[in-house]
Every structure is written in structure tokens, then in C-alpha cells.
Amino acid sequence: MPIAIKEWAVTVRALSEGEQLLIFRTDAENEESSLEHDRFFLFPTFEHAHNDVVRGAHVPELRRALEEGVWPDGDPAISALTQPGGIEQPDRVRVRAWAEVAGEYTITNQRAISELSPFYIWTTDYAQKRLGWRRGTSLRVTLLRTHRIPRPVTIRVRPEHDFGPDWLEITRDLPFEGTPVLSDIEFGRVQDEIESIVSGRRIASLA
């Protein structure tokens, strides 16, 4: 069965539209040196303790993120996404994209996080507010190359999807096919820029 990673719906939407290329994990969230899988579908979730971490320019992503779920009584109010606790997980979610790991990096300083901001939709204090990251500790940064599948697939949310680890199995036969959200040339360019930031070359040049 296909493997999927659970991510907040607004992250999934941003990844599938090319607005975001990175996901973050702290040592506490991910004890392994890398993600368990290097290719996986993106499974949207909605319940989170801190939802006030999206930059102003990307707030419209919140509204589009509601399209990732199917609720029996219709979409909830957009304001619910920015309240503590988020909204209830819908009965069904739409899986519209899959991703493959294109790079994994470890960073320990706030300046690198800020330099990487063109490649994610969060506020620059996201790592502290959302992940509980502290200066001097490691933050895992994973570069994803995302592909949109030809047609979104609706998946029923089972009770075990709401809790437990980040990974789950999808009980449908989904092929890894579709169109990359960025062309080879564009993705290669941003990958080079991201690697220059995490390696310290760009940071050193700005010092």
C-alpha cells in the first residue's frame, strides 16, 4: 500500500502549488537522521495547536487549504484555521500530490532559517512557535520535489489517522505519477540556492 506523510493542510496546498519546497523537523519530532521514506504521498491534516504562523502574503493559502478536506456539513469558517486547536479533521481528505526527498540538511542557527524563508510560507519565528526549536539545537530541513497527480483522490479518514506517527498507509492503489510543480531547470536553480544557504556560503558572503 502507498505510504503518506501527514502534514498540515496549508503546507500540503503550498507544496502542491510550488509555494513551499521545505519541511522542518526537530530532533524531538524525528529521532532518525532522515525521513523514513524518500517518496510518499501528502496527507492533509487540520488540527494544530498553533495556526498563527503563516506569513501575511500567504494567508490566502488558508482558504485554499479547506479544499483539501470534505466535511458533511460543508466547509468550516476560514477563521477557524487561525484559532488555537484548528478545526476538526474532516470525514474525507483529498490527496492531490506526492513528493520525493531531494535533499536533507541540518541547521542550528536562526539566520539560516531566515535566509530560507523564500522557500516556505511560514513566519520566520515558525521554528520556535510551531516546533519548539531552540537556538543551538539541530533543526532538520528536508527539500521536497512535489508532483501533482493527474486527478485528486478522495480518502476516507479513519480514526487511526488522527493520532500516532507522521506516516500512514493509504488503502488505495495510487501510482507515483504526475507533473512536477517546478520544471527541472527551476528546481535545480532553487536547490543550488538552498544548498548554498544551509552550507553557510551565502551567509558568509553577507556577513
Phi, psi angle pair for 68, to nearest 5°:
-80, -10
pLDDT digits (tens, 9 = 90+) for 98-131: 999 999 998 887 888 889 999 999 887 776 666 6
Q: Which runs of E-coded beta strand occur in 22-74?
A: 22-26, 39-45, 69-70
Q: What is the pLDDT of residue 86?
A: 61
Query: Which tops the pLDDT comparison, 147 or 138?
Result: 147
Please give the pLDDT value at position 31: 46
Which residues on neighbouring strands pair with residue 70, listed in sequence order? Answer: 92
First to last CA, the chain: 49
Domain containing residue 188: CATH number: 2.30.130.30
How large a percentage of the chain has pLDDT more than 70?
76
What domain range includes position 120?
3-206
- At 188, the amino acid letter reads G
C-alpha cell at 42: 501528502
Pairing of strands 39-45, 22-26: unpaired
pTM: 0.84
Contact 186, 194 (CB under 8 A): no
pLDDT at 82 over 90: no
Tell me the per-residue pLDDT of 145-188, one tens digit each, with 9 for 90 and over. Answer: 999 998 888 888 876 555 556 888 888 888 899 999 999 999 99
- The domain total for the chain is 1
State percent of the chain over pLDDT 90: 30
DSSP state of 54: B
